[in-house]
Amino acid sequence: MAARPQAAGPGPAAPAPAATGGRSGSWALMASELSVLFRRLRTWAMLAALAAVPILIATAVRLSSPVPPGRGPTFLDRISQNGLFVGMTALLVSVPLFLPLTVGVVAGDTIAGEANLGTLRYLLVAPAGRVRLLLIKYAAAAVFCLTATVTVAAVGALAGVALFPVGPVTLLSGDTIDAGESLLRSLLIAAYIAVSLLGLAAIGLAISTFTDIPVGAMAATVVLSVVSQVADNLPQLEWLHPWLFSHYWLDFADLLRQPISWTSFGENALLQGGYILAAGAIAYGRFTSKDVLS
């Protein structure tokens, strides 16, 4: 309703170019954000460490005597018969600590890292826009979640194919699927775990808006992920379990049935969505009112 008098002017402040330039401008910042993330040595070191997990598992199994069924992580005993289980085992092993650790580093660094470098003030003066910057930071962290899980799954598949025979896979439901479909299932599990990590990434982003010291935000995020998993194992806290963001982290077995049961995928996505909204609201409240003094 209220007319903006300067809107008629042809100057650079006229809203017309703002409206048209906005969307492609945000893609440019997103591309820049991803390039900063993936040009860091640290990011590649973390991905390499994650890739080492399936390689280590495959090598160890290859070099040792056959694993008796029922010992070690689930699927471990099946690897020597079918290499396609390497990726699944590696994902299972990485969920409790390795993946949350890397996600904690990336998410905890989002705002605090820029504040620590001093680049935050230059991004805001550019101007990036506080809400826009927050959204793009989160989107980049989410891309990392997916990259990290897919890295484990993909390297696992390669290591499995290289070191072991590959054949049809018997699912938990007793059905058998061929190798191609089992790779698809691996990717599905990777996607499930990536979704699982989105809540943690949002928590890391929120913590990151409270400090100028990235290591502090990273540590706090990782500690929270451990606390959540410990609480999830205490029977005394059973009432709390369905609300913990790590509650469905290991419930991807449903994706190994025929037909696929999407129940846990949906419940997990809903829970993570709740955490994204809550942590996002905290991050928004804090970051839009924050004095940037670094």
Partner 1 sequence: MSDTSGPAGPAIETNGLSKRFGRRSAVDSINLAVPRGSVFGFLGPNGSGKTTTIRLLLGLASATGGEVRVLGRQIPAGLASVLPEVGALVEGPAFYPFLSGAANLRRLDAADRHAPRNTRAARVEEALERVGLSHAAGKKVRAYSLGMKQRLGIANALLRPRELLVLDEPTNGLDPQGTREVRSLVRSLAAGGTTVFVSSHLLAEVEQMCTHVGVMSVGRLVAQGTLRELRAAGTARIMLRTPDVAAAARVLSGLGLQPEPAGVLQGADHGGQLSTSPPGHVVAPEDIVAALVAAGVRVQGFGVEDASLEERFVSLTGEGFDVAG
Q: Which of 2, 3, 16, 39 binds partner 1 (CB under 8 A)?
A: 39
Size of the site for partner 1 (CB under 8 A): 41
- Check residue 76 and report its DSSP letter: G
Q: Which of 124, 146, 179, 191 binds partner 1 (CB under 8 A)?
A: 124
Helix intervals (H) in the chain: 15-38, 41-63, 85-94, 98-117, 119-125, 130-163, 179-208, 214-232, 263-289
Choices 25-33, 89-97, 197-205, 234-242 (CB under 8 A): range interacting with partner 1 = 25-33
Q: Which of 34, 96, 121, 260 binds partner 1 (CB under 8 A)?
A: 121
Reading the block at residue 73, the tokens are: 């992580």
The nearest distance, CB 110 to partner 1, in angstroms, is 14
Residue labelled with tokens 């419930």: 251
The nearest distance, CB 291 to partner 1, in angstroms, is 4
Contact between 131 and partner 1 per CB under 8 A: no
Residue 67 and residue 80 in contact, taking contact as beta carbons nearer than 8 Å: yes
The nearest distance, CB 287 to partner 1, in angstroms, is 12
Reading the block at residue 212, the tokens are: 């100028």
Give me the 133-172 binding string for partner 1, x by CB under 8 A, dash otherwise.
Answer: x---------------------------------------
- Residue with Cβ nearer partner 1 (121 or 241): 121
CA 147 – CA 10 distance, rounded (Å): 44
Q: Which of 38, 40, 52, 161 binds partner 1 (CB under 8 A)?
A: 40
Contact between 48 and partner 1 per CB under 8 A: no
- Residue with Cβ nearer partner 1 (26 or 258): 26
Start-to-end Cα distance in the chain: 39
Contact between 36 and partner 1 per CB under 8 A: yes
The nearest distance, CB 293 to partner 1, in angstroms, is 6
CA 45 – CA 41 distance, rounded (Å): 6
Residues β-bridged to residue 61: none
Residue 68 and residue 77 in contact, taking contact as beta carbons nearer than 8 Å: yes
Contact between 70 and partner 1 per CB under 8 A: no
SS3 170: strand
Per residue in 236-253, is it b (16+ CB within 10 Å) or e — as a string? Answer: eeeeeeeebbbbbbbebe
CA 191 – CA 150 distance, rounded (Å): 8
Give me the 233-272 binding string for partner 1, x by CB under 8 A, dash otherwise.
Answer: ----------------------------------------
Reading the block at residue 210, the tokens are: 């409270």
Q: Which of 56, 122, 173, 285 binds partner 1 (CB under 8 A)?
A: 122
At position 125, the amino acid (one-letter code) is V
Residue labelled with tokens 């010291």: 213
Contact between 41 and partner 1 per CB under 8 A: yes
Binding site for partner 1 (CB under 8 A): 6, 9-14, 17-18, 21-22, 24-26, 28-29, 31-32, 35-36, 39-41, 117-119, 121-129, 132-133, 289, 291-293
